[in-house]
Amino acid sequence: MPDCPECGSNRFYKDGFRYTNEGQIQRYLCRKCGYRFSEKSYKEWQTNSNHQLCVLTKAKKLDTTTEIKTVAGEEGKTTKGKILQFALYLKLQGNSEHTIKGFSQKLRRLAFNADLNAPLSVKKYLAILEISESSKHAYCVAYTCFLKWQGKLWKPPKYKSTQKIPEFIPTEKEIDALIAGCGRKTATILQTLKETGMRIGECLRLTWGSLNPEAHTLTLNTPEKNSLPRVFKISPKLIAMLESLSKGSIRIFGHVHSKTPSICLAQQRKKIAKKLANPRIAKIHFHLIRHWKGTMEYHKTHDLVHVQRLLGHKSILNTMIYVNLEQAIFEACDDYIVKTASTLDEASKLLEVGFEYVTDMDGAKLFRKRK
């Protein structure tokens, strides 16, 4: 029997059937959180999850050449077996699980549509593939590593990885409306991302030891993309939301597949957008909240280094997009609140609440802040 994709509970009611062209599909209603889901959708998710984790799981079991032959068998000579052994190689080289999954998934797709032993076949497939140039560049990187592992070389196509600027940034009210309308676990994830600007993968790996309610901090010791560990100051509201979750797992959000929260969010945001008659809410996703956090932090501080450290960027060039976003969003806001300070204590208090120094006049210092 399936577990609830929202809260992981195995206590639910059968909630009738949903009829499609393929026949009837059993529906369930979770007795713990009230979330409705289909048996078929759960099985498809489980199958996809197992398919994506298959190579990594097998790679974890392969520790010696003998075990490679035992598990892979004759497949060691086939493309599937080579991808499996390549996954083991990546594991032994110390690559992250995210890298191993990503490379293996890309190589399987290439193997299904082209011949991995013929670089020209791969080039032809990538040429007709309708994905972004950055995604094609990622496929080339995975295939290049695969060939290098076999002692082969090729001349990769000239695809470039480009950084995209978000098409829009939601307002805080829209994010709060989305949080209020989502289920408990999804809402807690959204609130965590809103206050910290974490990546969704970093958020899902948080453990209960990361939370310090007394100090109102949340510590990230498992960052992605070689970022530095970070400590975040969080609100009492977020602490209460986190502590209301089930503590049946060492991880705060349980051992869920990385795509499960995204599937739940996609389902819930459509309903909320329709209910509030605001189609912008239907476009909000987890990484967009990270962009919102970076834009708002730069608007408050105008300190790129601060935003870089908060978001964990390796290069400040990745942080520069928030300069453009901040200018585009707030360029029409030319109204300021002006304050004066005649003592060091007054100036310090103004700086603490976000005012910026402008100039000296008649023995006083002038400060301003956007309304």
In this predicted model, what pLDDT tens digit does every residue of 261-287 receive, in sequence order?
Answer: 888 899 899 999 999 999 999 999 999
Residues 6+ apart with CB under 8 A from 311: 197, 290, 293, 294, 319
Q: Which of 64-73, 75-84, 173-182 has the lowest mean pLDDT?
A: 64-73
342 — pLDDT class (breaks 50, 70, 90): confident
Q: Could you tell me the two tokens for 130?
A: 């309708």
Please give the average per-residue pLDDT across 53-66, as a whole number. Answer: 48
pLDDT of residue 256 exceeding 90: no
Query: In this predicted structure, what is the pLDDT of residue 331?
Result: 65
Task: Determine contact, residues 142/103, Cβ cutoff 8 Å.
Answer: yes
Dist CA 190 CA 289 (whole Å): 8
pLDDT for 168-188, tens place per residue? 899 999 999 999 999 999 999
pLDDT: which is higher, 96 or 322: 322
Query: In this predicted structure, what is the pLDDT of residue 70?
Result: 44
Q: Which residue from 171, 88, 86, 103 is spatially nearest to 141, judged by alpha carbons?
A: 103
Dist CA 328 CA 350 (whole Å): 26
Residues 6+ apart with CB under 8 A from 155: 119
Task: Please report, as a single letter, which amino acid is at residue 225.
Answer: K
Query: In this predicted structure, what is the pLDDT of residue 1?
Result: 52
309 — pLDDT class (breaks 50, 70, 90): very high
Please give the average per-residue pLDDT across 130-153, as a whole number. Answer: 93
pLDDT: which is higher, 133 or 49: 133
pLDDT of residue 116 exceeding 60: yes
Report which listed range, 12-16, 290-294, 336-340, 365-369, is most confident.
290-294
Q: Which of 26-40, 78-92, 156-170, 280-294 has the lowest mean pLDDT?
A: 26-40
Query: In this predicted structure, what is the pLDDT of residue 103?
Result: 94
pLDDT of residue 221 exceeding 90: yes
22 — pLDDT class (breaks 50, 70, 90): low
pLDDT of residue 75 exceeding 50: no
Residue 43: how many other CB atoms lie within 10 Å: 12
With H, G, I as helix, E, B as strand and everything else as coil, classify residue 215.
coil
Please give the average per-residue pLDDT across 229-249, as a whole number. Answer: 94
Query: In this predicted structure, what is the pLDDT of residue 52?
Result: 46
pLDDT of residue 339 exceeding 80: yes
Instruction: Give the rounded percent of residues in the chain with a pLDDT score beyond 90.
Output: 50
Q: Is the dihedral angle over the CA atoms 266, 255, 99, 291 positive or is it negative?
A: positive
pTM of the model: 0.69
371 — pLDDT class (breaks 50, 70, 90): low
